């Protein structure tokens, strides 16, 4: 599905150059359910940016399917984001002035599908996440769990091959979190690759595999061993 | 030394302003070219019904933002249109007020001396006469000229006399003049018969030209007054003409008789109380030269000091009109400056709102980008929204301003405001200007927001 080879990313901060991702080697197979864990500042969000084709990188290679994702035109990268990747965010990021139905239908707008057609498809996806009756409600009127379901329906509507979920349960209580993870598992079982970024070990345990990031590096099993024998003080992410 | 320094500073300031202007123009050019480039890439969106639906939904559901933009733009255009229209109304009003008298006339009134001269004491009364009229007639630049004799013993210092026909009698203003008086009183228009002629003067005929008001008063039965005899100050006169006046009925309650007849009939010798003339299209300076020349002639003949402004009082409407024109021109300039200031405030307001609106929408932009929108399509959508909103608001302000101007024009609050109105092109240009400003103000932050990687924005709670 996707493969990162010796990928490096720097941020320029004033005159300094911050090395955020160091020689990242990563492979995710088709249909896998993977968690990426790491503390704040470990490079999680940068990695997510790159995987989501929202940011470029300095060296190395990022293969999505058979395509090398590098120096794409804005038009191409927008097209890839639209058709291959579905995003799920911690803070849902629904457009507040649109109804649930319109929010779900938005990716199809950027595919040039007519309003009528896309609203019809959006209705089906809302049904799939159990919110058919909430189609005409705006996000303000919905609970956190409902909003995340709408967001998941939106991520699915363009039939992507990869779902990128950034702390999808970070703003939800444990019961709702469980339901959302059930939904993500269900999506995974339908054959879509799901990548969840989290700092919650419990969430990570629901996936098939966990990749740990620390200081911009993917930690090998030996690193893991040393870190568990000497538990360091970790500051929980406040995002 | 100091002057050179001041000049240097002045030049420096001028240079700085010019430089700032050049920089601003270049900046705007670059901005519009880059915005135009985006528009060129996204032109299909202009004709996309779906896109407009999207824009309408966004505008319709962001009520506060929409309202603020509408108010700030509409108000700017409204005030601009109203002020410009009012400025024009003031100008029209002033011109109309002055059209009453010829705006190229000079008047010389005989008065008393105020400076001792050639052994004469002050306070000596000066009396003009027919020779003064003949002399002034020869002065270059004098177009039409008439003397006027004031009959002694009448009402209003000799200007009103009893006029009778049969049992009807009333006091009317009487003007004993030369034939050219009809050209000096520009608001008069001959309705019937003729005005006084040179023959009337030479033969001292008892001819009279009466105003429409007098004709209606003395001839209520509807007889044509031409050829009829009436009594003016107990002297019979034959009516030869009737005039109307464009300034209203009050001016139609006067009559004109030959100056020579009046001088003979009312014991006036060859005396004149006033000289009145038009000077064609003379400039203020030319009119002053004519005044100086005639005053000098009068001073020599009547032996008063040439610099004695009291001996013969002069009224120069050319100069007066220029002064008033200047005042109204300054008012117009002031109004335009205020209008432009309002427009500038509108630009700043729109820019502010657009910038804040885009800032507020950083998250939305991030979402759209993550869902597959290209940065250009996002930027263009925001431009479309802002142009549409400012356009509608401009239209509202424009029609509001025109409507109010129309109301003010119809209300006729004062004579000084006449037919206020604006050149519609100016209003439309101002609206386009605000639309461009709004688009530009939305363009930069939108472009910046569309370029930023959205994950960061999207992670904000």
pLDDT tens by residue, B222-245: 778 888 889 888 889 999 999 988
Which H or E run contains A13?
strand A2-13
CB < 8 Å to A98, chain B: 57, 61
With CA atoms as reference, the chain B residue closest to A52 would be: B370
What is the value of ipTM here, to two decimals? 0.85
Using the beta-carbon criterion (under 8 Å), do B375 and A74 form an inter-chain contact? yes
Which H or E run contains A164?
strand A162-166
Say if strands B168-177 and B144-149 run parallel, antiparallel, or are unpaired.
antiparallel
CB < 8 Å to B458, chain A: 89, 91, 93, 166
With CA atoms as reference, the chain B residue closest to A76 would be: B374
Q: Return d(Cα A221, Cα A214) in angstroms, integer.
A: 13
Confidence of residue B154 (pLDDT cuts 50, 70, 90): low
Does the structure show a pLDDT above 80 at B207? yes
Using the beta-carbon criterion (under 8 Å), do B53 and A83 form an inter-chain contact? no
Q: Return d(Cα B79, Cα B227) in angstroms, integer.
A: 59
Which H or E run contains B64?
helix B63-99
Greatest mean pLDDT among A191-200, B52-61, B118-127, B239-248 lies in A191-200
Contact present, B38 and B305 (Cβ < 8 Å): no
Encode pLDDT of B428-454 as tens digits. 888 888 788 878 877 887 888 787 766
Mutation to test the A interface, candidates B64, B367, B371, most A Cβ within 10 Å = B371
Length of chain B equals: 461
- Decide: residue B200, CB within 10 A, 0-12 exposed, 13-18 middle, 19+ buried: buried
In this prediction, residue B15 carries a pLDDT of 84
Q: Return d(Cα B27, Cα B116) in angstroms, integer.
A: 71
- Number of C-beta neighbours around residue A41 at 10 A: 15
Using the beta-carbon criterion (under 8 Å), do B367 and A95 form an inter-chain contact? yes
Phi/psi of residue A20, nearest 5 degrees: -90, -40
How many beta-carbon pairs below 8 A join chains A and B?
80
Sheet hosting strand A209-214, strand order edge to edge:
A85-88, A162-166, A193-198, A33-37, A209-214, A217-218
The DSSP letter of residue B100 is T
CB < 8 Å to B62, chain A: 97
DSSP conformation letters of A166-215:
ESTTTTS-HHHHHHHHHHHHHHHHTT-EEEEEES-HHHHHTSSEEEEEET
Using the beta-carbon criterion (under 8 Å), do B372 and A78 form an inter-chain contact? yes
Nearest CB to B371 within list A55, A102, A110: A110
B161 beta partners: B172
Confidence of residue B5 (pLDDT cuts 50, 70, 90): low
Residue at token pair 């990869």: A162
Alpha helices in B361-374 (DSSP H): 362-370
Q: Return d(Cα B367, Cα A98) in angstroms, integer.
A: 13
Phi/psi of residue B412, nearest 5 degrees: 50, 60
Q: Return d(Cα A125, Cα A133) in angstroms, integer.
A: 12
Q: Show the tokens assigned to B86.
A: 């009012």
Distances (CA, A) of B119 to A60, B115, B116, B124: 115, 10, 7, 11
Contact present, B179 and B196 (Cβ < 8 Å): yes
- Work out the angle at residue B122's Cα, subtended by the Cα atoms of residues B117 and B124, and round it to the nearest 5 degrees: 95
In this prediction, residue A223 carries a pLDDT of 57
The per-residue pLDDT string of chain A (239 residues; one tens digit each, 9 = 90 and over) reads 899 999 999 887 778 888 889 999 999 999 999 999 988 778 888 888 899 888 889 899 999 988 899 888 888 888 999 999 999 988 888 988 889 999 999 999 999 888 899 999 999 999 999 999 999 999 999 999 999 999 999 999 999 999 999 888 888 898 999 999 999 999 999 999 999 998 888 888 889 999 998 888 888 765 555 544 444 445 555 54
Q: Show the tokens assigned to B362.
A: 């950083």
The DSSP letter of residue A54 is S
In this prediction, residue B461 carries a pLDDT of 44
Say if strands A33-37 and A209-214 run parallel, antiparallel, or are unpaired.
parallel
Encode pLDDT of B10-48 as tens digits. 777 788 888 888 998 888 888 888 888 888 888 878 887
Q: Return d(Cα A91, Cα A112) in angstroms, integer.
A: 27
Three-state secondary-structure class, residue A64: strand
- Work out the angle at residue B163's Cα, subtended by the Cα atoms of residues B160 and B168, and round it to the nearest 5 degrees: 135
Which H or E run contains B315?
strand B312-316
Flag the least confident range among A191-200, B264-273, B411-420. B411-420
Flag the least confident range among B141-150, B152-161, B349-358. B152-161
Distances (CA, A) of B116 to A140, B16, B251, B309, B337: 96, 59, 40, 12, 51
Q: Return d(Cα A16, Cα A159) in angstroms, integer.
A: 41
Three-state secondary-structure class, residue A89: coil
DSSP conformation letters of B372-440:
T--HHHHHHHHHHHHHHHHHHHHHHHHHHHHHHHHHHHHHT--TT--S----HHHHHHHHHHHHHHHHH
In this prediction, residue A224 carries a pLDDT of 55
With CA atoms as reference, the chain B residue closest to A80 would be: B372
Contact present, A192 and A160 (Cβ < 8 Å): yes
Percent pLDDT > 70 in chain B is 93
Q: Return d(Cα B180, Cα B278) in angstroms, integer.
A: 10
Using the beta-carbon criterion (under 8 Å), do A81 and B372 form an inter-chain contact? yes
Contact present, B293 and B281 (Cβ < 8 Å): no
Q: Show the tokens assigned to B431.
A: 């609206």
Q: Across all residues in chain B, what is the average pLDDT? A: 83
Contact present, B151 and B161 (Cβ < 8 Å): yes
In this prediction, residue B2 carries a pLDDT of 59
Q: How far is A36 from chain B (nearest CA, A)?
A: 16
Phi/psi of residue B210, nearest 5 degrees: -110, 155
Q: Return d(Cα A125, Cα B349) in angstroms, integer.
A: 43
Higher pLDDT, B57 or A88: A88
- The arithmetic mean of pLDDT across residues B308-320, rounded, is 85
Q: Show the tokens assigned to B79.
A: 């005030």
- The arithmetic mean of pLDDT across residues B155-167, rounded, is 72
Q: Show the tokens assigned to A23.
A: 């020689």
Three-state secondary-structure class, residue B124: coil
DSSP conformation letters of B230-269:
EEETTEEEEEEEEEEETT-GGGGSEEEEEHHHHHHHTT-T
Contact present, A239 and A167 (Cβ < 8 Å): yes
CB < 8 Å to A104, chain B: none
Three-state secondary-structure class, residue B314: strand
Long-range contacts formed by A217-222: CB under 8 A, 24+ apart: A217/A22, A217/A23, A217/A24, A218/A24, A218/A25, A218/A26
Q: Return d(Cα A128, Cα A130) in angstroms, integer.
A: 5
Does the structure show a pLDDT above 60 at B284? yes
Q: How far is B70 from chain A (nearest CA, A)?
A: 19
With CA atoms as reference, the chain A residue closest to B372 would be: A82
Encode pLDDT of B374-387 as tens digits. 888 888 888 888 88
In this prediction, residue B1 carries a pLDDT of 60
In this prediction, residue A125 carries a pLDDT of 94
Distance of CA B225 to the CA centre of its chain: 40
Contact present, A203 and A210 (Cβ < 8 Å): no
Percent pLDDT > 90 in chain B is 6
Q: Return d(Cα A150, Cα A171) in angstroms, integer.
A: 15
DSSP conformation letters of B151-187:
PTTSBGGGTEEEEEETTEEEEEEEEEE-TTHHHHSTT
């Amino acid at each position: 599905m996707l493969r990162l080879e010796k990928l490096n990313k720097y941020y320029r901060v004033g005159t300094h150059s911050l090395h955020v991702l160091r020689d990242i080697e990563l492979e995710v197979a088709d249909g896998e359910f993977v968690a990426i864990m790491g503390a704040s500042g470990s490079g999680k969000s940068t990695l997510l940016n790159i995987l989501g084709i929202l940011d470029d990188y300095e060296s190395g290679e990022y293969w999505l399917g058979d395509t090398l994702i590098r120096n794409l035109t804005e038009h191409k990268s927008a097209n890839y984001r639209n058709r291959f990747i579905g995003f799920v965010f911690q803070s849902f990021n629904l457009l507040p002035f649109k109804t649930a139905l319109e929010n779900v239908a938005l990716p199809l707008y950027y595919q040039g599908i007519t309003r009528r057609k896309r609203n019809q498809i959006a209705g089906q996806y809302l049904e799939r996440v159990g919110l058919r009756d909430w189609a005409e409600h705006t996000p303000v009127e919905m609970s956190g769990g409902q909003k995340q379901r709408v967001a998941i329906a939106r991520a699915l509507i363009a039939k992507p091959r990869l779902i990128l979920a950034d702390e999808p349960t970070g703003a939800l209580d444990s019961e709702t979190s469980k339901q959302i993870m059930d939904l993500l598992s269900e999506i995974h079982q339908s054959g879509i690759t799901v990548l969840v970024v989290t700092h919650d070990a419990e969430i990570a345990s629901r996936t098939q595999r966990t990749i740990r990031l620390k200081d911009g590096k993917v930690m090998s099993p030996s690193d893991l061993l040393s870190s568990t024998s000497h538990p360091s003080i970790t500051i929980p992410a406040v995002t | 030394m100091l002057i050179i320094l001041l000049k240097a500073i002045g030049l420096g300031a001028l240079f700085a302003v010019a430089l700032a202007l050049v920089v601003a123009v270049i900046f705007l050019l670059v901005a519009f070219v880059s915005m135009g480039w985006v528009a060129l890439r996204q032109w299909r969106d202009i004709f996309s019904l779906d896109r407009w639906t999207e824009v309408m939904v966004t505008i319709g559901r962001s009520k506060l933002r929409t309202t603020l933009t509408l108010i700030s733009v509409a108000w700017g255009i409204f005030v601009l249109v109203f002020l410009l229209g009012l400025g024009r109304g003031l100008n029209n009003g002033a011109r109309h007020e002055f059209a009453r008298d010829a705006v190229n006339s000079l008047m010389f009134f005989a008065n008393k001396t105020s400076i001792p001269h050639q052994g004469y004491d002050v306070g000596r009364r000066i009396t003009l006469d027919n020779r003064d009229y003949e002399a002034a007639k020869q002065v270059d630049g004098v177009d039409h000229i008439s003397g006027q004799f004031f009959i002694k013993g009448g009402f209003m210092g000799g200007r009103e006399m009893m006029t009778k026909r049969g049992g009807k009698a009333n006091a009317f203003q009487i003007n004993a003049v030369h034939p050219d008086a009809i050209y000096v009183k520009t608001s008069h228009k001959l309705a019937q018969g003729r005005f006084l002629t040179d023959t009337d003067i030479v033969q001292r005929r008892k001819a009279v030209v009466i105003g429409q008001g007098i004709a209606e008063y003395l001839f209520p039965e509807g007889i044509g007054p031409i050829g009829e005899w009436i009594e003016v100050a107990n002297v019979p006169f034959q009516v030869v003409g009737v005039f109307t006046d464009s300034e209203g009925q009050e001016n139609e309650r006067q009559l004109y008789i030959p100056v020579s007849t009046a001088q003979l009939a009312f014991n006036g010798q060859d005396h004149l109380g006033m000289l009145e003339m038009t000077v064609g299209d003379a400039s203020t300076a030319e009119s002053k030269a004519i005044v100086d020349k005639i005053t000098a002639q009068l001073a020599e003949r009547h032996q008063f000091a040439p610099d004695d402004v009291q001996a013969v009082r002069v009224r120069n409407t050319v100069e007066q009109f220029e002064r008033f024109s200047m005042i109204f021109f300054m008012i117009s300039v002031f109004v335009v400056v205020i209008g432009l200031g309002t427009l500038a405030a509108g630009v700043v307001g729109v820019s502010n709102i657009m910038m804040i609106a885009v800032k507020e929408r950083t998250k939305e932009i991030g979402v759209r980008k993550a869902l597959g929108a290209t940065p250009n399509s996002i930027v263009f959508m925001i431009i479309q929204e802002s142009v549409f909103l400012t356009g509608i608001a401009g239209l509202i302000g424009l029609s509001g301003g025109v409507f109010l101007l129309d109301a003010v024009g119809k209300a006729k609050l004062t004579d000084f405001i006449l037919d206020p109105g604006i050149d519609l092109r100016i209003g439309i240009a101002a609206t386009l200007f605000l639309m461009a400003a709004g688009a530009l103000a939305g363009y930069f932050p939108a472009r910046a927001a569309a370029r930023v990687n959205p994950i960061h924005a999207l992670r904000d709670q």
